[in-house]
């Protein structure tokens, strides 16, 4: 059951990532065509693309964390093996979980205050729904790093 939920979540992440990327490309091409051929533009495309960059970055980080292909500094990995290596992997996963947990908490506070203050984005739409990807994404990454702390995957010392 948990495996099925994880598979559906992974598929949802991949589909969202593709949809965001294709939307960004489509909007950018539309804006270029409108400006160059019709000497006009849609004012909301540029701010929307900036928000889509945020979504792309967070979704990409979520996928990288799921696949355990995220950026890591592994200088010490070359000098440890066995139990020491597993301890190192667990310690770095715990640290990453703590950092992502802090990011989830503070980005959640940020979105909350944006909602309370009724901060607008393009077309006077509220900004906070577009920013929800931050606390959600960091929460997902926190859970993944926490799980990697408890049950790390086998690591190659090379």
- Long-range Cβ pairs for the range 44-50 (8 Å, 24+): 44/122, 44/123, 47/121, 47/122, 48/122, 49/24
Q: Are 21 and 6 in contact (CB under 8 A)?
A: no
The answer to whether 89 and 149 are in contact (CB under 8 A) is no
Q: Which residue has the tokens 């503070």?
A: 106
pTM of the model: 0.87
Report domain extents, the chain: 2-150
Per-residue pLDDT of the chain (158 residues; tens, 9 = 90+): 888 998 999 999 999 999 999 999 999 999 999 999 999 999 999 999 999 999 999 999 999 999 888 877 676 677 777 788 888 889 989 999 999 999 999 999 999 999 999 999 988 999 999 999 999 999 999 999 999 999 877 655 55
3 state SS of 120: strand
């Amino acid at each position: 059951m948990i495996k099925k939920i994880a598979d559906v979540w992974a598929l949802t992440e991949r589909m969202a990532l593709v949809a965001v990327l294709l939307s960004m490309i489509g909007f950018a091409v539309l804006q270029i065509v409108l400006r160059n051929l019709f000497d006009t533009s849609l004012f909301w495309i540029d701010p929307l693309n900036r928000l889509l960059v945020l979504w792309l970055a967070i979704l990409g980080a979520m996928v990288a964390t799921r696949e355990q292909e995220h950026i890591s500094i592994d200088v010490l990995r070359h000098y440890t093996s066995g139990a020491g290596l597993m301890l190192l992997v667990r310690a770095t996963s715990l640290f990453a979980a703590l950092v992502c947990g802090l990011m989830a908490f503070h980005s959640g506070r940020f979105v909350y205050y944006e909602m309370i203050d009724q901060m607008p984005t393009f077309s006077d739409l509220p900004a906070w729904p577009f920013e929800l990807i931050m606390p959600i994404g960091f929460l997902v990454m926190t859970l993944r790093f926490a799980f990697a702390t408890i049950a790390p995957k086998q690591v190659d010392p090379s």
